[in-house]
Structure 1
Amino acid sequence: MQLIYKQLRLGFLGLLMLGLLAACQSTPEKKPPFNAEQIAAMTEQGFHQTDEGWELSFTDKLLFEFDAAKLTPPSRSAVQKISAALLKVGINHMRVEGHTDNEGTQDYNIKLSLARANVVAGAMSATGIPRDNIIVKGLGMGKPVASNASKAGQAENRRVTIIVSAP
């Protein structure tokens, strides 16, 4: 009986020591998701940090005509420039979200916004970003950046947003 008691006591002390040693270990320092060069490149291209990651809304660079999902030559050029800048600093994973104004049905606007996101993703892919690394979403008229009460506001809402988040 005494032998069993000693073994139990030694086992308990061993577990206690292991627990104390584990508590003393320091956790590795968490590496920031983006380095200074990547942050500078994103900032230079017009990205800003949000709760979801680094976001670029094309309200001033990439707007779509009413009921269209076609890139104009200047818009295609803007997408290619941004894609090249991201690739240069090793950023090649992102989410592209398409948006619409409030004209049309919700179902139609979801499809149109998805088509817009896919057009931009295709242009990014043509620049060298692997298409499998680009998630596309069609958000329809759900996240306006301007009032749909005016034609100018509606035009601002016909856009695509690119979000780069930590891998």
Structure 2
Amino acid sequence: MSRKIIVTGLALAIFSGSILSSCESVKNTNKTQRGVAIGAAGGAILGGVLGNNIGKGGNGALGAVLGGVIGGVAGGVIGNKMDKQAREIDNALPGADVVRVGEGIKLVLGENAVRFDFNKSTLTAAAKANLDKLVKVFTEYPDTDIIIYGYTDSSGADDYNLKLSEQRAAAVKAYLSKKGLAASRFTTKGLGESDPIESNDTDAGRSKNRRVEFAITANEKMVEDAKKEGGK
């Protein structure tokens, strides 16, 4: 069963709005100004929610998603688009962990979705079949930047694991690019055995730590389009 934590921009706006609406200074602002204020408060709330619910792991993809927060009315527009994309990813690949936070998506593909042979960076046939499902969704949403993070478990030397994780992330990018997605959309990073999401003391835990994560955020075009749409 996939683990999903959904924190949408709309939910943050509603919660933040309920707090801010009681302030006289906010009542006297226009729609755009209120959107900016709600976005700022939502960011603080988001940090608390994530800290309490996500726990260990996710510093790579999660940090990238949070670092791309725009906020305000434009952020709400982007968040709505990301909501839809997250649902489509979840439907296309039920075995993935789709985490909708702020204005982006953290996507975790464990060994049940993207599996590598032991000590290899070569994608298996099953991994390619699952990535094909993502290609369809990524093609529908071209205005996003995607960082691919590779991870390993703690078996082996640190420097070797780091290199292996980099090769695995690069293998995913190469495959997605081969399928027609623009290579310029992707950045790859290997994080080795860092940020474990489970204990490395058990086979089951090590299996979950061998994973690929995606940070999906708005590119410049989506941001500019959202600002125009939000200003209407």
1:13-24 superposed matches below 5 A: none
Q: Contact conserved, 2:143 with 2:218, CA < 8 A, in 1?
A: no
Structure label with greater radius of gyration: 1
- Partner of residue 74, structure 2: 31
Matched, 1:68 2:112: no
Listed as ranges, the gaps of 5+ residues in structure 2 are 1-29, 37-71, 91-97, 220-232
SS of residue in 1 equivalent to 2:74: coil
Identity %: 27
- Does the C-alpha gap of structure 1 residues 161 and 40 become closer, same or farther in structure 2, counting only changes over 3 Å? same
Q: What's the TM-score once normalised by structure 2's chain length?
A: 0.55
Please give the alpha-carbon distance, in whole angstroms, between the structure 2 residues aligned to 1:154 and 1:51: 29
Shift of 1:150: 1.0
Shift of 1:63: 2.8
Please give the alpha-carbon distance, in whole angstroms, between the structure 2 residues aligned to 1:106 and 1:99: 11
Listed as ranges, the gaps of 5+ residues in structure 1 are 1-23
Which structure has more RCO (C-alpha within 8 Å, separation ≥ 6)? 1
Q: Contact conserved, 2:115 with 2:124, CA < 8 A, in 1?
A: no
* Structure 1 residue corresponding to 2:181, chosen from 129, 134, 142: 129
Shift of 1:155: 1.4
Shift of 1:146: 1.4
1:125-150 deviation digits (Å, cap 9, x = unpaired): 11222112200000000011211111
1:54-77 deviation digits (Å, cap 9, x = unpaired): 111101311323211111111111
Shift of 1:39: 2.5
1:2-38 deviation digits (Å, cap 9, x = unpaired): xxxxxxxxxxxxxxxxxxxxxx9x7697423636454
Greater fraction helix: 2
Q: Contact conserved, 2:147 with 2:214, CA < 8 A, in 1?
A: yes
Matched, 1:57 2:100: no
- Does the C-alpha gap of structure 1 residues 138 and 88 become closer, same or farther in structure 2, counting only changes over 3 Å? same
Amino acid at match of 1:73: A
